[in-house]
Chain A
Amino acid sequence: MEIHRFEKLWLVASLLLIAGFVATIVYGAVGAGVAMVDNSGGQVAASDPTASSDFRDPGVYQTGDGEYDVYVVARQFSFTPGSGTPIRVPEGSEVTFHIASRDVTHGFNVVGTNLNTMVIPGQVAQLTVEFDDARSYHVACNEYCGAAHHDMTGTIEVVPAEDFDESEVAEA
């Protein structure tokens, strides 16, 4: 098969581009430490996540120095905590979210950041992020989940360490 010289060059350039893309992603995972949401969150009962031993009552838990676990239950059309009461964590903390749904599939997107996951009944979405600055974040459910999906929002408040009240943390 005869391939034009320019076409060969183009082919090589394309393959290099592809290899480059894969390399940046490998670097993102290995170098920059961007972990994918995966199956490490475990599974829960679809209708009642908190009944499972893998999932705690919704709330914020301290797990170490500057480290917190946040358990969130999503349901039509709110996040607990998040929608009624904001999720509050101190500035500079490392927070692991565990999010489960008790009805249909939802999304949990901290707007404008890469904290973004699907929340699928039966599965726990688990992801760890660092909050460097004190500010508040808007949370949107970004998967259609029913008639009032657009009302399913929440707030995360990252507060200065000195304003963070340890008593807000649930008993471990």
Chain B
Amino acid sequence: MTYVDDYPGAAKLVRWHFGVAFIAFALGGVFGLLQGLYRTDYFREALPIDATQYYTVLTGHGVLLALVFTTFFICGMFVWATTRSLDRPLYSDRLAWVGFGSMFVGTALAATAILNGFAPGLPFDSADVLYTFYAPLKAHPAFYFGAALLVVGSWILGAVYFLTYREWRADNPDARIPLQTFMVLTTFIMWYVSSVGVAVEVVVFLIPWSLGWIGQVDPLLTRSLFWYFGHPVVYFWLLPGYLAWYTLLPKFAGGRLFSDPLARVVFVLFVLLSTPVGFHHQYIDPGIADGFKFIAMTNTMMLLLPSLLTAFTVVASVEHGARQRGGDGYLGWLRALPWDEPAFAGTALAGLMFAAGGFSGMINAGMNINYLIHNTIWVPGHFHLTVGTAFALTAMAVSYWLVPQLTGKPLRHRRLASIQPYVWFVGMTLMSNAMHRGGLAGLPRRTAEPVGDAGASAFDTVFSTIAEIRLQIALGATLLVVALLMFLVVMLGTWLSRPGVSALSVNGHIPEPLSGASNGPRVLDNLKLWTGIAVVLVLLAYGVPLGSMVADGILNPGASPFPV
């Protein structure tokens, strides 16, 4: 029996979530190519945008990919993970559809406001504020309402996961939480704790301000609320990737997960440490005492721990799989892995790129070297390895395995699918390494014409030239979009094919870990405890600094206009 036969209602929900996610991915990807070419001055004159519209495109790219694609994919994937691992349907499909509806309407509102930037004068005015929407840059209220509905919709889906779990708990009072459900619930605890920040920012400040009900907002306070949410959001993107690496990748490799308890420890660490670190995005912000930056820095460094542990467990599990398949030797086992299986190749390459992203992340986190790279193109170089690949490529790889089970239709265009991850990998290697090096030379991010009148000679490259860096970015961006098209062709082909033509070649069974949940202490499953500690850590890291920003006047940016 495939998933769609067991849970037709949930499968339909997942399909719709994935459908919206893929449309956002397609549009966002095209925008990415426009940016990659415009910035580097390849075919700039021939592109359909000018320098001002570059920022409309960039807003669209950031919002559609980092917020819409991710949130829809994650909420859909978690519907699958919850029902599969609890082995029961959702608490309420209808409630889940309400959540989906809220996210969908929110996306439509925000996207319309953004796209209006191409044709000013339309009712929604414009929203060229980028996906970080720092006040006092102002967007049309529809943009903020859209963002709020997107977040609220995800909260509703989160409630559905928790309610489903509660029903399961009533029937299974003594059982350990199944691993995938544990991962879904911990990810959402973190999401609830952290998205409160952006909800307050948008609902209390930005919506009333964009409607003209209040005259001004404090840029530092709203920005700090954004980053209170802005770091944990990266773990919201990443943890579904971890879910796939822990629970699916070992299976794809032909083996079993090394240790279930350690996977739980890792997710608990993320619940505790993901939020009290947001100031590391504000290392070079004025108005924040350096002590708070230091606290955020140490917490950030501690956050390396769960990721380093993950690297160990995942590689060990994959090696175990390879040896099951007959691989041997110190590194020889690598050859025994199914590199021509798109689901395996995609997840494994995504994990590899995440390791590279982790290294540039350590540089970002280094409070004082951060000066050198902050807001340079280095930073997009970094996060296209993390969210742009660790998440996005894992999502594509998982889709190759999951979409057949959601539709009951075998994967089409297998050839195309099996080379697709490699095309993405090569494209990202070119684009990301060039972005990192461009950043070291001081090329700013978020800039339509970064070289400008100053000329390339104003930027000292460590080696090679600005021209070569630009070529690699343009070439990499092109390959990435080719890979994206390949993925979309496979998905559309599969989705639109007639059902029942041939048998599915995948099975949805996930083998038990080598070391099972019962080897770990029960306290790991005490979600209330971890939530409580997480909240205390957040209060410690944020109480005083946010308090002082509020104390000087909650709407007041800086000092009062008249000396008193």
List the interface of chain A (C-beta within 8 A of B).
1-4, 6-7, 10-11, 14-15, 17-18, 21-22, 24-25, 28-29, 34-39, 41-48, 51-54, 103-105, 107, 109, 111-126, 138, 140-151, 153
Are A117 and B305 in contact, with the CB atoms below 8 A? no
Are B286 and A54 in contact, with the CB atoms below 8 A? no
Contact of B368 among A10, A15, A28, A123 (CB under 8 A): A28
Are B223 and A109 in contact, with the CB atoms below 8 A? no
Are A21 and B301 in contact, with the CB atoms below 8 A? yes
A28 CA / B367 CA spacing, docked (Å):
9
Task: Name B548's closest neighbour in chain A (CB-CB).
Answer: A39
A111 CA / B441 CA spacing, docked (Å):
7
Are B449 and A11 in contact, with the CB atoms below 8 A? no
Residue B242, interface by CB 8 Å: no
Q: B252-280: which residues lie under 8 A (CB-CB) from chain A? A: 258-259, 261-262
Q: Which residues of B contact A10 (CB under 8 A)?
A: 308-309, 312
Are B293 and A38 in contact, with the CB atoms below 8 A? yes
Q: Which residues of B contact A117 (CB under 8 A)?
A: 284, 286
- Given contacts A7-B312, A36-B368, A114-B372, 18 further A-B pairs with CB under 8 A are A2-B515, A6-B316, A7-B316, A21-B304, A25-B297, A36-B290, A46-B219, A104-B136, A111-B459, A112-B459, A114-B368, A121-B136, A122-B559, A126-B286, A144-B130, A153-B452, A153-B453, A153-B454
A150 CA / B206 CA spacing, docked (Å):
26
Task: Name B440's closest neighbour in chain A (CB-CB).
Answer: A112
Q: B106-140: which residues lie under 8 A (CB-CB) from chain A? A: 128, 130, 134, 136-137
A109 CA / B367 CA spacing, docked (Å):
16
Are B219 and A17 in contact, with the CB atoms below 8 A? no
Give 9 A-B contacts (CB < 8 Å), ordered by A residue: A18-B302, A18-B305, A37-B283, A51-B561, A52-B559, A104-B136, A118-B284, A141-B444, A151-B452
Q: Which residues of A contact B520 (CB under 8 A)?
A: 1
Given known contacts A118-B286, A144-B130, A52 and B223 CB-to-CB distance under 8 angstroms: no
B interface residues, how many (CB within 8 angstroms): 79
Q: Which residues of A contact B287 (CB under 8 A)?
A: 39, 41, 43, 120, 122-123
Task: Name A34's closest neighbour in chain B (CB-CB).
Answer: B368
Are A18 and B293 in contact, with the CB atoms below 8 A? no
Contact of B447 among A24, A105, A142 (CB under 8 A): A142
Given known contacts A1-B261, A18-B305, A120-B287, A111 and B442 CB-to-CB distance under 8 angstroms: yes
Contact with A along B472-513 (1 / 0, CB 8 A): 000000000000000000000000000000000000000000
Q: Which residues of B contact A147 (CB under 8 A)?
A: 51-52, 55, 128
Q: Which residues of A contact B286 (CB under 8 A)?
A: 37-39, 41, 117-120, 123-126
Contact of B366 among A14, A24, A141, A142 (CB under 8 A): A24
Q: Which residues of A contact B454 (CB under 8 A)?
A: 138, 153
Task: Name A154's closest neighbour in chain B (CB-CB).
Answer: B454
User: What's the minimum C-beta distance from B46 to chain A, rounded to whole angstroms?
Assistant: 19
A122 CA / B258 CA spacing, docked (Å):
53
Task: Name A136's closest neighbour in chain B (CB-CB).
Answer: B458
A18 CA / B449 CA spacing, docked (Å):
38
User: What's the minimum C-beta distance from A128 to chain B, rounded to whole angstroms?
Assistant: 13
Are B371 and A138 in contact, with the CB atoms below 8 A? no
Q: Which residues of B contact A46 (CB under 8 A)?
A: 216, 219, 557-558, 561
Task: Name B365's closest neighbour in chain A (CB-CB).
Answer: A21
Are B262 and A7 in contact, with the CB atoms below 8 A? yes
Residue B324, interface by CB 8 Å: no
